[in-house]
Structure 1
Amino acid sequence: MWKIAIIDDDRQVLQGMKRAIPWDELEAVWVGEALNGRDGLQMIRDMQPDIVISDIYMPVLNGLDMIEELRKEEFPGKIIILSGYSDFEYARQALRLNVSDYMSKPVSLPTLTTVLGKVVEELAQEEEKRIKQDEMEQKLSLYEPFIEKEWVQSAVAGTLEASFRSEELLPPAYRFWLDSRHLVIGLDLVRDVRASSLTLSDWNLFRFAVSNIVCEITREVYPSFEYTELHGTRSALVLHPAPDQELQPDALQELGKKLIENIGSFLKLVIRVGIGNLKDSWEDIPDSTEEAFRAIDLKEKRMDPAYDLYMYGGEALKLERDSSGSAAGIRPVKFYLELAGAIKASQETQAQEIVSEYIALLERQGSISPDYLQSLAGELWGIFAYCLYEVGMMLDDIFANDQIAKEMTGLTKPSQLAEWLNDKISVICSSRQWKGNSKHRQAVDFMLQYVHEHYAEDITLGDLADKVYISRNHLSIIFKNVTGETFNTYLTRVRVEKARELLLDRKMLVYEVAEKVGYKNVPYFSTLFKKFTGMNPTELVK
């Protein structure tokens, strides 16, 4: 209900107004009255009405002076002047004080109703706008951690827009980058038989587990770092040593070996690791990223014959930037990430433009062998498969594998590769299976990330439904369709995976681990653990 206050030194006017105003029609209530400006000012301060109807000439403090004082106090309500004086000077002063309307006494009932109706409508519109603004701010605060992660990913891959590369726009949590040096370690999951057989939900869980392992191992040696997933099977670990801290090759080699060993031991997954060069400026982090993955791709400077661990040995990259600030050289990591993002968002035109720009860059580099083009086609086909895989689809359902293999062998010119890729992108984005999936996938992506960040808390599907503005029942169906399992099953699997990791670390007792992953009932935790792993928690720590 809208609150209305009336201020007039004539009691008959006060009573007449109270009787004349169509309260129910306006969805309004009377909250106070006063006979002079001073009492009116205090009443307004106490009652905070939405609308004030005030006379001008009143004893002690006139209406215009009272309104001026309210404006100094930033009173947010609407003010309507009702006066027996129609003098232009009064109207001009009222306009300066931002009043909503100026009515002359005596006022007719239709005029009063019309003026109040207009003011109430303005209030309703402002309230709706305020609610939307509050919702937007709430949404932004909710998504802030995820926005920061997107920022880190872009800064590492080289896709950060030039306008966001200023020191002032560095997120507060990453201001320390300005006083640090930077080195990227690239991780590439080998698509062997085991990795290729993972279901979508398993793949999401393994990515979470890889992130945990990488962060825990790195934290023991380097306190300042970020881990970010890039495209498909690749991710990056960014170290930020202080200016006086040395990064010895032996220490980096030891870190790389530990990552390979632990991911292989705990997850039975095979990874390759590449180490880029140390950079003095955070804007050069993408160069170190490219170096790390070039070391992997070219098998440069293998650091240990027993491990797929490589260190970039070529000339330090310092790729030129164009007028917009973007990298002008060929940067596969940047290209792959941009292409994957466009395909996952079903942006056909954007994806095709990204391909065309990259192929044009390749052509300007000079002679390109058919072997390289076919290898590039295979890598990009893997990215297409991964993008569809993330939304619960299989590329094999759209294209026949044997036909694709034959087509790739016929690609001998960059223009042929561009035409072939753009044709496949068009088929994928126009596929009936693909349409409608991108928005659902965004909601599920948020849920997966939220679970990985808050698994130890009391999370319910209803809570997340409120956060993504989708009904609980509908969200349940979406989550099951995209991941292949229910939300509660996925949450439990994340908790059990984290618990297994903590138990293997042998630094905590079973009941402490249970509490750490969100279970206060230890027997119930043990039952779930055995159901998902096939053994009791106590067996694991023996």
Structure 2
Amino acid sequence: MWRIAIIDDDRQLLQGMKRAIPWKEIDAEWCGEAMNGEEGLHMIERVRPDVIITDIYMPIMNGLDMIERLRGEGYGCKIIILSGYSDFEYARQALRLNVSDYISKPVSIPTMKAILDRTLGQLAEEEGEKLKQNELQQKLELYEPLVEKEWVKSAVAGTSAGICRSEDLPVPYRFWVGTRHVMLGVELVRESRACELGLSDWHLFRFATSNIVCEVALRSFPHFEFTELHGGRSALVIHPPAEMGEEVLQQKLEQLGIQLIDCVRRYLKLVIRVGIGRLKEQWQQIPDSTEEAFRAIDLKERHVAGGYYLYTAAESADGAAYPGAMRPVKFYQELASAIKTSQQTQAQQVIREFTGQLEQAESLSPEYLQMLAGELWGIVAYNLYEVGMVLEDIFPNAHIAKETAGLTEPAQLAEWLTEKITIICSSRQWRGNSKHRQAVDFITQYIHEHYMEEITLGDLTDKVFISRNHLAIIFKNMTGETFNTYLTRVRIEKSKELLLESNLLVYEVAEKVGYKNVPYFSTLFKKHTGMNPTELVK
């Protein structure tokens, strides 16, 4: 309901207006009155009306001076002047002060109602526009981190072809200009432990891996970005200090690689490979360092430490073994994106472009093509698994190793891969459309970033524009768990980490993972781990 105040030194007029205006009909209420501008200012400050009807000539302070004071203080309500004087100078001043209407006394009730209807209609439109702007701003603030993460991913993989100039860099990454960069690639080894993970476990371990990588990297390098790439691959963009020499940098990178392998093995019981690219002076060269890091893993270039899958890029690429013009990481990323969104035409185009480059390469060995086919099949499997599909369900009787062993020409690789992608994209086993997969990805990431807060599925429905009941079904279908079960698992895993690695008391840990009721936290903890929180730290 709108609030209207009237200011006039004629008490009879005040009372008459108060009785005559059809308040219910215009969905408004009388909220205050005053008999001069000074009283009006105090009243307005107290009741904050949406509309002010005021006279001009009044004792102590006139209406125009009062309006000027209000506008000077930034008060933007609607103001209607009701005056017995129709002087042009007054009208000019009223226009300057952004007055909504200027009415000469006497005024009939139908005329006043029409003016109020028009004024309140304008207010409703403006409020609606403000609401839209606020909602848009909230959405921008909510999705901005996700957009930035996608941009980093495209910059790392070399898929952001449209952004080459430094002035086009997003504001948070302008510091990349004039800074050195080196890539560290991380690849999850597809051994039995990784293959046994359920879909919800896969999401959980993916976030856990990113947390470990970032926490360990921060000990050695204060400036870096982490991004997930295709399948089981991720990468660190490291920006070493200008004063750090290349020899010292290489040592620190190798130490970091060993620490990452150790920590992921110790805490997650998973095996990773790490590759180190070469140092680059320009941010536009970051994709080159990315390719070098993963090429070092693929070809096992310069094995750094015994007992560790840690490799560093060779000084010069062996063009025969791994064509220098080829950019597998970029290709993998583009193909993965097309597969996850079931864009068959885009996937086929990406395959044609890449295999066309392969055909132009010299001394391309069958072994390289077969290795590439195996890598591609693994990436396809990972990306389908992330959206709730199992590749073996689509190809139950496939003998992939035997099929890839017969690939000796790029054209054969293109034909084989295109056929597989066509079957996948036309499969009816997709669980939910692209919007649903994006919604679940957003929710799982939101949980990992806000698990310490009070979160309900209902809170997230407005963020992904899906009803609560429908969202609950989608989340369960795509992760294998309910929203609450997944949230609880994340919180319990984080609490285990805090109990083991910090000196916090049980009640402090409970608060840090979103539980205010300590007995309830202890009950949940025992249910999920088989022991009480206090038993874990003994």
What is the Cα deviation at residue 2 of structure 1? 0.8
What is the Cα deviation at residue 40 of structure 1? 4.0
Name the residue aligned to 1:321.
Answer: none
Q: Go from structure 1 to structure 2 and tell me whether the alpha carbon gap of 1:299 and 1:37 turns closer, same or farther (over 3 Å shift).
A: same
Code of the residue aligned with 2:375 in structure 1: it is: E
Name the residue aligned to 2:321.
Answer: none
Q: Distance in 1 between matches of 2:84 and 2:363?
A: 89
Code of the residue aligned with 1:307 in structure 2: it is: Y
Indicate yes or no: 2:479 matched with 1:478.
no
Code of the residue aligned with 1:308 in structure 2: it is: Y
Q: Distance in 2 between matches of 1:337 and 1:114?
A: 62
What is the Cα deviation at residue 419 of structure 1? 7.0
Contact 1:290–1:333, Cα closer than 8 Å, also in 2: yes
Name the residue aligned to 1:212.
Answer: 211
Instruction: Tell me the secondary structure at the aligned position of residue 25 of structure 1.
Output: coil
Name the residue aligned to 2:180.
Answer: 181
Contact 1:200–1:390, Cα closer than 8 Å, also in 2: yes
Q: Distance in 2 between matches of 1:367 and 1:259?
A: 36
Between 227-236 and 332-341, report the one with greater CA deviation.
Answer: 332-341
Counterpart of 1:494 (choices 484, 490, 494) is 490
Q: TM-score, normalised by structure 1?
A: 0.81
Indicate yes or no: 2:127 matched with 1:131.
no
What is the Cα deviation at residue 277 of structure 1? 1.2
Between 19-28 and 159-168, report the one with greater CA deviation.
Answer: 159-168
Task: Give CA deviations for 1:483-538 in whole Å, capped at 9, x if unaligned.
Answer: 10122322333234344445665977877766655567777666655544556767
Indicate yes or no: 2:259 matched with 1:258.
yes
Between 397-406 and 99-108, report the one with greater CA deviation.
Answer: 397-406
Residues 231-270 of structure 1 mapped to structure 2, 5 A cutoff: 231-246=230-245, 247-270=248-271
Q: Distance in 2 between matches of 1:435 and 1:167?
A: 41
Contact 1:373–1:412, Cα closer than 8 Å, also in 2: yes
Name the residue aligned to 1:118.
Answer: 118
Name the residue aligned to 2:311.
Answer: 310
Counterpart of 2:446 (choices 446, 450, 453) is 450
Q: Go from structure 1 to structure 2 and tell me whether the alpha carbon gap of 1:288 and 1:2 turns closer, same or farther (over 3 Å shift).
A: same
Task: Give CA deviations for 1:176-211 in whole Å, capped at 9, x if unaligned.
Answer: 655753322111112233322321111112212322
Name the residue aligned to 2:21.
Answer: 21
Contact 2:366–2:409, Cα closer than 8 Å, also in 1: yes
Indicate yes or no: 2:292 matched with 1:296.
no
Q: Distance in 2 between matches of 1:50 and 1:297?
A: 68
Task: Give CA deviations for 1:429-460 in whole Å, capped at 9, x if unaligned.
Answer: 56555374322322322222233233344544
Contact 1:209–1:497, Cα closer than 8 Å, also in 2: no
Code of the residue aligned with 1:280 in structure 2: it is: E
Instruction: Tell me the secondary structure at the aligned position of residue 236 of structure 2.
Output: strand
Task: Give CA deviations for 1:284-336 in whole Å, capped at 9, x if unaligned.
Answer: 3332222101111222112235332211014499xxxxxxxxxx975332333
Name the residue aligned to 1:30.
Answer: 30
Between 355-364 and 28-37, report the one with greater CA deviation.
Answer: 355-364
Q: Go from structure 1 to structure 2 and tell me whether the alpha carbon gap of 1:508 and 1:26 turns closer, same or farther (over 3 Å shift).
A: closer
Code of the residue aligned with 1:486 in structure 2: it is: T
Q: Go from structure 1 to structure 2 and tell me whether the alpha carbon gap of 1:511 and 1:436 turns closer, same or farther (over 3 Å shift).
A: closer
Residues 154-193 of structure 1 mapped to structure 2, 5 A cutoff: 154-160=154-160, 162=162, 166=166, 170-172=170-172, 177=176, 180-193=179-192
Q: Go from structure 1 to structure 2 and tell me whether the alpha carbon gap of 1:44 and 1:342 turns closer, same or farther (over 3 Å shift).
A: farther
Q: Distance in 2 between matches of 1:12 and 1:511?
A: 66
Q: Distance in 1 between matches of 2:308 and 2:325?
A: 31
Name the residue aligned to 1:194.
Answer: 193
Code of the residue aligned with 2:14 in structure 1: it is: L
Code of the residue aligned with 1:203 in structure 2: it is: W
Task: Give CA deviations for 1:228-265 in whole Å, capped at 9, x if unaligned.
Answer: 22111101123332122243544433332333233334
Q: Distance in 1 between matches of 2:502 and 2:105?
A: 85
Instruction: Tell me the secondary structure at the aligned position of residue 241 of structure 2.
Output: coil
Q: Distance in 2 between matches of 1:342 and 1:374?
A: 22
Name the residue aligned to 2:340.
Answer: 344
Name the residue aligned to 1:228.
Answer: 227
What is the Cα deviation at residue 49 of structure 1? 1.9
CA RMSD of aligned residues (A): 4.1
Between 85-94 and 434-443, report the one with greater CA deviation.
Answer: 85-94
Q: Go from structure 1 to structure 2 and tell me whether the alpha carbon gap of 1:93 and 1:207 turns closer, same or farther (over 3 Å shift).
A: same
What is the Cα deviation at residue 423 of structure 1? 6.6
Contact 1:506–1:541, Cα closer than 8 Å, also in 2: no
Q: TM-score, normalised by structure 2?
A: 0.81
Contact 1:229–1:235, Cα closer than 8 Å, also in 2: yes
Contact 1:84–1:104, Cα closer than 8 Å, also in 2: yes
Contact 1:179–1:242, Cα closer than 8 Å, also in 2: no
What is the Cα deviation at residue 117 of structure 1? 1.4
Q: Distance in 2 between matches of 1:124 and 1:342?
A: 44
Contact 2:439–2:464, Cα closer than 8 Å, also in 1: yes
What is the Cα deviation at residue 389 of structure 1? 1.8
Residues 383-422 of structure 1 mapped to structure 2, 5 A cutoff: 383-399=379-395, 402=398
Q: Distance in 1 between matches of 2:423 and 2:44?
A: 65
Sequence identity (%): 67
Contact 2:82–2:103, Cα closer than 8 Å, also in 1: yes
Instruction: Tell me the secondary structure at the aligned position of residue 485 of structure 2.
Output: helix
Between 150-159 and 351-360, report the one with greater CA deviation.
Answer: 351-360
Q: Distance in 2 between matches of 1:113 and 1:434?
A: 59
Q: Which runs of 5+ in 1 are unaligned?
A: 318-327
What is the Cα deviation at residue 76 of structure 1? 1.1
Paired residues in the alignment total 531
Code of the residue aligned with 1:25 in structure 2: it is: E
Code of the residue aligned with 2:290 in structure 1: it is: T
Residues 59-70 of structure 1 mapped to structure 2, 5 A cutoff: 63-64=63-64, 66-70=66-70
Contact 2:431–2:478, Cα closer than 8 Å, also in 1: no
Q: Distance in 2 between matches of 1:9 and 1:362?
A: 89
Q: Distance in 2 between matches of 1:313 and 1:522?
A: 54
Code of the residue aligned with 2:207 in structure 1: it is: F
What is the Cα deviation at residue 48 of structure 1? 2.8
Contact 1:302–1:311, Cα closer than 8 Å, also in 2: yes
Code of the residue aligned with 1:214 in structure 2: it is: V
Code of the residue aligned with 1:6 in structure 2: it is: I
Contact 2:389–2:431, Cα closer than 8 Å, also in 1: no
Contact 2:35–2:58, Cα closer than 8 Å, also in 1: yes
Q: Distance in 1 between matches of 2:504 and 2:47?
A: 57
Q: Which runs of 5+ in 2 are unaligned?
A: 319-323
Code of the residue aligned with 1:7 in structure 2: it is: I
Q: Distance in 1 between matches of 2:441 and 2:190?
A: 22
Q: Distance in 1 between matches of 2:526 and 2:291?
A: 43
Contact 2:212–2:263, Cα closer than 8 Å, also in 1: yes
